[in-house]
């Protein structure tokens, strides 16, 4: 059922719809080297084949999973021979992100001199996986997972087509089965067609000779939803980003959804909880210091219990962090202090703050005039009010006297510190 022409091609209207740049280039036989970036089953290989067919070029396909430099050289040598007699070659490299730098470098000269028109297909971000020299000589087009309407169209065509589809098998797809197939294929045309074919093959014809495909048969044929998730790729980073932003934005429902997506995809639970430990200080901080304790407890629980039961601790922590008051004062305070560390003179530690373990050091004034907080604080007025209302002495170098790095937030427990901090800085 692979489409043979652009008119048969389903989806990706934003790049091959009427009047779009790539479609015009194909129709005018002016196709440059291309990189197609998109999820499985979105049409990358099909579109490459259509381009070769419509431009009269020989289609040569290599898979970066199994091909090496020797295979590349043979394909390019054949392309060179065709070029000598006026024939063009589209060199299609599937999963080009799996080629190392040396292998990608081997293609580069022949893309430059026009021996081949390269079309690379990748499920990974080409900015990170394809060498810059090759990227600069190619146009990158992003393909998206097919919509439910796209998948529905592909299913209908497969059921009706008698030459390349299931038209001769007299297949009837029940409405609930259709919905299940579209939902479980997750925008992947290849998964949808393979599942439909398997279900049709295993369905028992009724008395009228009709193979009725039911929802349970679809579920049995597919077993599990097609998941577009790569623990080392864009989905890994995109979904964890959505999860963290949901926690930061205090949306417990969204946080649970993205957490479930990661767990269902087999993400490392310790990776998830490490990010929550960071967020506990970065985004909750002193507004609720218990958040860090909960996050560390979740890490210990996941490590101790393991999966799948570890989802309880992960969900517990996610809900706590999402509903906790928020403050980023910890990061802001540290960054402000680090700025001074890196941009000002690193003055010696003031004498009264230095340790004095020897007589010589004491004679040089180390530790002199240091006010021991517990002894001196006990004699102060309002000593029972904690935290203390004023400093006993200065603790920063003279060149940084009066610096204020920590600015309390206005939520949760931290709001209670704001008045104390202001008074402490006002009455040193």
Rounded-to-integer distance, Cα 403 and Cα 337, Å: 9
The class level of CATH for 148-222 reads mainly alpha
pTM (predicted TM-score):
0.62
Local structure of residue 353 (DSSP, 8 states): G
For the ranges 142-156, 240-254, 286-300, 414-428, the lowest mean pLDDT is seen at 414-428
The DSSP element (H or E) to which 418 belongs, if any, is helix 414-426
Residues 6+ apart with CB under 8 A from 377: 383, 388, 392
Q: At 73, list the tokens.
A: 């050289």
382 or 73, which is more confident = 73
How many C-beta atoms surround the C-beta of residue 386 within 10 A? 9
Is the pLDDT assigned to residue 218 strictly greater than 80? Answer: yes
Furthest CA-CA distance within the chain = 108
User: How confident is the model at residue 59, as a pLDDT?
Assistant: 94
State which fold the 234-323 domain adopts. Answer: Zinc Finger, Delta Prime; domain 3 (1.20.272)
Rounded-to-integer distance, Cα 288 and Cα 221, Å: 49
Is the pLDDT assigned to residue 233 strictly greater than 70? Answer: no
- Confidence band (pLDDT; 50, 70, 90) for 227? low
User: How confident is the model at residue 389, as a pLDDT?
Assistant: 46
- Confidence band (pLDDT; 50, 70, 90) for 367? confident
For the ranges 23-32, 131-140, 221-230, 265-274, the lowest mean pLDDT is seen at 221-230
| Dihedral angle of Cα 188, 190, 193, 194, to the nearest 10 degrees | -120
345 or 28, which is more confident = 28
| Nearest Cα residue to 291 out of 309, 305, 278 | 278
User: How confident is the model at residue 70, as a pLDDT?
Assistant: 86
Rounded-to-integer distance, Cα 121 and Cα 65, Å: 12
Cis peptide before 2 (omega within 30 of 0): no
Is the pLDDT assigned to residue 390 strictly greater than 80? Answer: no
Is the pLDDT assigned to residue 104 strictly greater than 90? Answer: no
Local structure of residue 309 (DSSP, 8 states): T
User: How confident is the model at residue 226, as a pLDDT?
Assistant: 52
Rounded-to-integer distance, Cα 101 and Cα 89, Å: 23
Is the pLDDT assigned to residue 201 strictly greater than 70? Answer: yes
Rounded-to-integer distance, Cα 133 and Cα 126, Å: 12
Rounded-to-integer distance, Cα 65 and Cα 54, Å: 27
407 or 2, which is more confident = 2
What is the CATH number that goes with domain 13-142? 3.40.50.300
Boundaries of every domain in the chain: 13-142, 148-222, 234-323, 347-426
The DSSP element (H or E) to which 241 belongs, if any, is helix 234-248
How many C-beta atoms surround the C-beta of residue 425 within 10 A? 13
For the ranges 273-287, 294-308, 354-368, the lowest mean pLDDT is seen at 354-368
| Nearest Cα residue to 76 out of 60, 87, 65 | 60
Residue 194 and residue 202 in contact, taking contact as beta carbons nearer than 8 Å? no
User: How confident is the model at residue 394, as a pLDDT?
Assistant: 75
The pLDDT of 170-187, averaged and rounded, is 88
User: How confident is the model at residue 232, as a pLDDT?
Assistant: 54
Is the pLDDT assigned to residue 189 strictly greater than 70? Answer: yes
Rounded-to-integer distance, Cα 4 and Cα 18, Å: 17
Rounded-to-integer distance, Cα 139 and Cα 255, Å: 36
| Nearest Cα residue to 199 out of 183, 175, 223 | 223
The pLDDT of 229-244, averaged and rounded, is 73
């Amino acid at each position: 059922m692979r489409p043979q022409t652009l008119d048969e091609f389903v989806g990706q209207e934003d790049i091959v719809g009427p009047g779009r740049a790539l479609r015009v280039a194909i129709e005018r036989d002016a196709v440059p080297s291309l990189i197609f970036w998109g999820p499985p089953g979105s049409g990358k290989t099909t579109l490459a084949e259509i381009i070769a067919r419509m431009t009269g070029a020989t289609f040569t396909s290599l898979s970066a999973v199994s091909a090496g430099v020797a295979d590349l050289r043979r394909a390019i040598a054949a392309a060179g021979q065709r070029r000598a007699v006026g024939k063009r070659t589209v060199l299609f490299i599937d999963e080009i992100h799996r080629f190392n730098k040396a292998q990608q470098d081997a293609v580069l000269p022949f893309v430059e001199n026009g021996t081949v028109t390269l079309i690379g297909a990748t499920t990974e971000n080409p900015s990170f996986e394809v060498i810059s020299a090759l990227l600069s000589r190619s146009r990158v087009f992003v393909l998206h997972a097919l919509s439910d309407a796209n998948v529905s169209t592909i299913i209908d065509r497969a059921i009706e087509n008698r030459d390349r589809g299931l038209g001769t098998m007299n297949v009837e797809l029940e409405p609930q089965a259709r919905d299940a197939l579209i939902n479980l294929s997750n925008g992947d045309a290849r998964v949808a067609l393979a599942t439909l074919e398997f279900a049709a093959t295993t369905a028992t014809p009724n008395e009228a000779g009709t193979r009725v495909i039911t929802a349970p048969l679809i579920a049995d044929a597919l077993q599990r939803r097609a998941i577009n998730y790569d623990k080392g790729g864009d989905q890994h980073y995109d979904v964890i980003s959505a999860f963290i932003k949901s926690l930061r934005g205090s949306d417990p429902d969204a946080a649970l959804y993205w957490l479930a997506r990661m767990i269902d995809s087999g993400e490392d639970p310790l990776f998830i909880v490490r990010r929550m430990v960071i967020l506990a200080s970065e985004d909750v901080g002193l507004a609720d210091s218990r958040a860090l304790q909960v996050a560390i407890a979740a890490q210990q629980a996941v490590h101790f219990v393991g999966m799948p039961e570890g989802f309880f601790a992960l969900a517990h922590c996610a809900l706590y962090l999402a509903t906790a008051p928020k403050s980023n004062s910890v990061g802001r305070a540290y960054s402000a202090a680090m700025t001074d560390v890196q941009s000002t003179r690193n003055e010696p530690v003031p004498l009264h703050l230095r340790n004095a373990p020897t007589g010589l050091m004491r004679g040089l004034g180390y530790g002199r005039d240091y006010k021991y907080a517990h002894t001196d604080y006990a004699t102060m007025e309002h000593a029972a009010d904690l935290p203390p209302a004023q400093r006993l002495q200065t603790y920063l170098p003279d060149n940084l006297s009066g610096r204020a790095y920590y600015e309390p937030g206005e939520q949760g427990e931290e709001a209670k510190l704001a008045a104390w901090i202001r008074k402490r800085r006002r009455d040193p």
